Structure 1
Amino acid sequence: MSDGAIDIRHEAHARAYAEPLETFDPARPDLFAQDAMWPYFERLRAESPVHFTPESAYGPFWSVTRFNDIMSVDTDHEAFSSADGITLVSLEAKAESANRPARPSFISMDPPKHDVQRKTVSPVVAPANLHRMAPVIRERAAKILDNLPVGEEFDWVDLVSKELTAMTLATLFDFPQEDRRRLTHWSDVFTNAPGHGPVTSWEQKRREISECFTAFTELWNARSKAEPAFDLISMLAHGADTRDMDEHEFHGNVALLIIGGNDTTRNTISGSLYALNRNPDQYQKLRDNPGLITSMVSETIRWQTPLAHMARTATRDVELGGKTIRKGDRVAMWYVSGNRDESVIADPESYIIDRERPRQHLSFGFGVHRCVGNRLAELQLTIIWEEILKRFPVINVVAEPQRTFSVFVKGYETLPVVIPERVA
């Protein structure tokens, strides 16, 4: 970690412990962009693990910051509904979309409708299909790595993380591979506020989202007229419980599948290399024993936490952690905090690739909304690292990454690296 990054963390720690709890607000994208949110969650876990923020850029909301409390919320879809959306949405974004139709997806639905829509697309990430996909992913990973420059600086996010996940996502949609980076771009358009990421204005954001939905409506129309096939759009177009969904609901599911298939895996691929460079003893341990790749992947998913939070709405008054959450209140489950909960995870700040229980983390969620593509994410991460270790003695991160300006996607915009040499 650079001296500048250390200074930012020291300053953030001082600010976090100086602010009064009454107005404490962890939902600040500037903190996440600076990797400076940690002391805010550390203090909340210690002093106010179920905490109400009366005013913020996202309106009033509760923060749930401890592992077991998050589990309680995540596994109780009756008391904590997803129907009002699964992220904190800024007041600015709410005002912008006030007169526009809602685009619900199955992740922002409660059972039973959630269950039948999720069931329609889940075969594409079932074990049998993952087994069929694995050789294709491996071939693509190998080609990506073989084309990387040696001895000169490049952006790992662009050439590796985005590229592999875009190829996989295009396969899941049966989307033209030559246009795969449009999927990456659209994911960034959906998840970034204007002024951050690829769009500079709400008008541009609306226009580019419309272009995305137009492209996928054309795919729906073509697939619905063709024989059923084993891709996400065909599954939705022919599924007994989804073929009659209206256009807005289809568009909501498109956005969900693009974001879910892109951001989490892409940012964990980047996070794995960053974490290993931050912890050279663990990198050496991995090189000495490639059999640790599986547990390293799970530890990275915990340590990185690619989605910082999920949100719910209370359907009734609920007592949690000695506080009363009122019906209609918004609740943020801070996975990023729960994954560093000292009371559940031993030495949670440390990155330890051979932990005794590496899959003990919250990053995929729990309950009915547990990430449907979690095994595919793990598969891509496992394969890319198996192929990396075959080719490169070491990959060096040469500067701090540029992080995503978001309280939802916890990721990397750039990660500058140099590969000194290939394996002889």
Structure 2
Amino acid sequence: MNAPIPEHDPAQVDVDPYSLPLEALDVANPHLFAADRHEAWFRRLRDEAPVHYCATSVFGPYWSVTRYEDIMQVDTAHNTFSSEPAITIRDAEEDFPLPMFIAMDRPRHDEQRATVSPAVGAQALAGFEPIIRKRTIDVLESLPVGDTFNWVERVSIELTTRMLATLFDFPFEERRKLTLWSDVAVATPGMGLINSEEERRAHMLDCLLYFQGLWEERASAPEKNDFISMLAHGESTRDMPAEEYLGNLLLLIVGGNDTTRSTMSASVLCLHDNPGEFAKLSADQALIPSMVSETIRWQTPLAHMRRRAKVDTELGGQTIRAGDKVVMWYVSGNRDERMFDDPGAFRIERENVRKHIAFGFGIHRCMGNRLAELQLRILWEEILARFERVEVVGPPVRTPSVFVKGYTELPIRLVPRG
């Protein structure tokens, strides 16, 4: 029997958050993000209740931390705020736990992260650059110039899934399985992709079964520089139980896929909506790295991370009790007026552009952040070499999620140079 689907209120998107009492504000509604109506809710919390308690929500009671400095404090206070047992606002199913190193504290977190981090380290990136460039050229030159197509599907998903297949040394012809598992892992039941937690679990078990075959292959061969081989041979990971293997797989799949995919799509949308910034970029391609950082800040592809208070503590004048769920809303911190001037604007020459918190901070800072930036830089180098404009010709369709802040559709038409 299917579990009941959480009832997120779709009517909330039409509510003025300033018309509600503060205690009634619940920002953890995927409808707000799908409709791109979340920002006013977070602005009110930043101004009036930067550390805010929501007593009743689909996800249970939780604290929202919405200002930049407070988020930084939580994200780096590892002895006060724990990543266990989960890093999303949605609780894990009690009978289907998926431990993963991002949802572990020291020392297990550090040991498991160190096992796989060389796959996206500086030496690996140098080898990836020509591969990424060749694939980017292949994808861009296959696009139907002059016709309308979905950029998310044809470019963002394709490029990130190819990279993900490389990181796992996954059978290339079956790489879209990675896309499916990534999407299902973070999907909101009843809002498109899956209808229940049981359906999610069935897909996740398919994922585990497939990857168990790859584990057996890699464990019996000399270690290579791919995630599965590193996990199979790593001292701290080679004996981990199946559910922990699956948890780490999903962490690496989602982390290597959804975030970069969302930013690739957002960069096109931002530069279309800000033609003056696009003109600057076209005139001076040395601005591409800064544009990439500003896109990551503006988009914030993972809206939040969650912690659990280990002890009673005070934050922003509020008393947080041991065991309380604390949600750091990166999507709000990156729009904090106390940190960023005119934060809703897209400015590729922003002075503090690299101060964004989209990658998190502290020991859990995104392991693949440099790889994501590299992929985006190469994408725009090759776009500007070929196209006069990348025109958005219809409204984007956004992901109905409070965790992954992304897109499912972005209708595009390309105008070639010359």
CA distance in 2, matches of 1:209, 1:247: 12
Q: Is the 8 A contact 2:13 2:31 kept in 1?
A: no
Aligned to 2:6: none
Q: Is the 8 A contact 1:63 1:331 kept in 2?
A: yes
Matched, 1:340 2:316: no
Aligned to 2:360: 365
Matched, 1:60 2:55: no
The Cα of 1:13 is off from its aligned counterpart by 8.4
Aligned to 1:288: 283
Matched, 1:276 2:271: yes
Q: Is the 8 A contact 1:13 1:39 kept in 2?
A: no
CA distance in 1, matches of 2:393, 2:207: 35
Q: Which stretch of the first structure deviates more once superposed, 354-363 or 190-199?
A: 190-199
Matched, 1:304 2:305: no
1:163-242 matched pairs, under 5 angstroms: 163-242=158-237
| Equivalent residue letter for 1:387 | E
The Cα of 1:103 is off from its aligned counterpart by 1.6
Q: Percent identity?
A: 54
The Cα of 1:329 is off from its aligned counterpart by 0.2
5+ residue gaps, structure 2, are 1-11
Q: Is the 8 A contact 1:189 1:197 kept in 2?
A: no
Q: Secondary structure at the match of 2:326?
A: strand
CA distance in 2, matches of 1:197, 1:110: 34
CA distance in 2, matches of 1:19, 1:218: 53
Q: 1:13 to 1:339 in 2, by over 3 A?
A: farther
CA distance in 1, matches of 2:300, 2:40: 16
5+ residue gaps, structure 1, are 1-10
Q: Is the 8 A contact 1:12 1:39 kept in 2?
A: no
CA distance in 1, matches of 2:98, 2:337: 38
Q: 1:168 to 1:274 in 2, by over 3 A?
A: same
Aligned with 2:257 (options 262, 265, 288): 262
Aligned with 1:244 (options 220, 231, 239): 239
Q: Is the 8 A contact 1:392 1:423 kept in 2?
A: yes
Q: Secondary structure at the match of 2:240?
A: coil
CA distance in 2, matches of 1:197, 1:272: 25
1:97-108 matched pairs, under 5 angstroms: 97-98=93-94, 100-108=95-103
CA distance in 1, matches of 2:296, 2:120: 18
Q: Secondary structure at the match of 1:332?
A: strand
CA distance in 1, matches of 2:280, 2:388: 12
Q: Is the 8 A contact 1:13 1:40 kept in 2?
A: no
The Cα of 1:221 is off from its aligned counterpart by 1.1
Q: Secondary structure at the match of 1:55?
A: coil
CA distance in 1, matches of 2:194, 2:172: 23
Q: Is the 8 A contact 1:399 1:415 kept in 2?
A: yes
* Deviation sequence 1:59-89 (CA, Å, 0-9, x none): 0000000000000000011110001200001
| Equivalent residue letter for 1:110 | D
Aligned to 1:47: 48
Aligned with 1:376 (options 371, 375, 398): 371
Q: Is the 8 A contact 1:305 1:339 kept in 2?
A: yes
TM-score by length of 1: 0.94
Q: Secondary structure at the match of 2:248?
A: helix
Q: Is the 8 A contact 1:299 1:359 kept in 2?
A: yes
Aligned to 1:35: 36
Q: Is the 8 A contact 1:155 1:414 kept in 2?
A: yes
Aligned to 1:142: 137
Aligned to 2:346: 351
| Equivalent residue letter for 1:62 | W
Q: Secondary structure at the match of 2:264?
A: helix
Q: Is the 8 A contact 2:13 2:35 kept in 1?
A: no
The Cα of 1:196 is off from its aligned counterpart by 2.7
* Deviation sequence 1:143-162 (CA, Å, 0-9, x none): 00000001111000000000
1:141-160 matched pairs, under 5 angstroms: 141-160=136-155
Root-mean-square deviation (CA, aligned residues, Å) is 1.2
Q: Secondary structure at the match of 2:79?
A: coil
| Equivalent residue letter for 1:114 | H
Aligned to 1:400: 395
| Equivalent residue letter for 2:22 | L
The Cα of 1:248 is off from its aligned counterpart by 1.2
Q: Secondary structure at the match of 1:353?
A: coil
Aligned to 1:110: 105
Count how many residue pairs are aligned between Structure 1 and Structure 2: 407
| Equivalent residue letter for 1:121 | V
| Equivalent residue letter for 2:173 | E
Aligned to 1:423: 417
Q: Secondary structure at the match of 1:333?
A: strand
Consecutive aligned runs of 4 or more in structure 1 exceeding 6 Å deviation: none
CA distance in 1, matches of 2:171, 2:220: 19
Aligned to 1:4: none
* Deviation sequence 1:317-341 (CA, Å, 0-9, x none): 1111000011000000000000010
Q: Secondary structure at the match of 2:90?
A: coil
CA distance in 2, matches of 1:122, 1:314: 27
Q: Is the 8 A contact 1:314 1:331 kept in 2?
A: yes
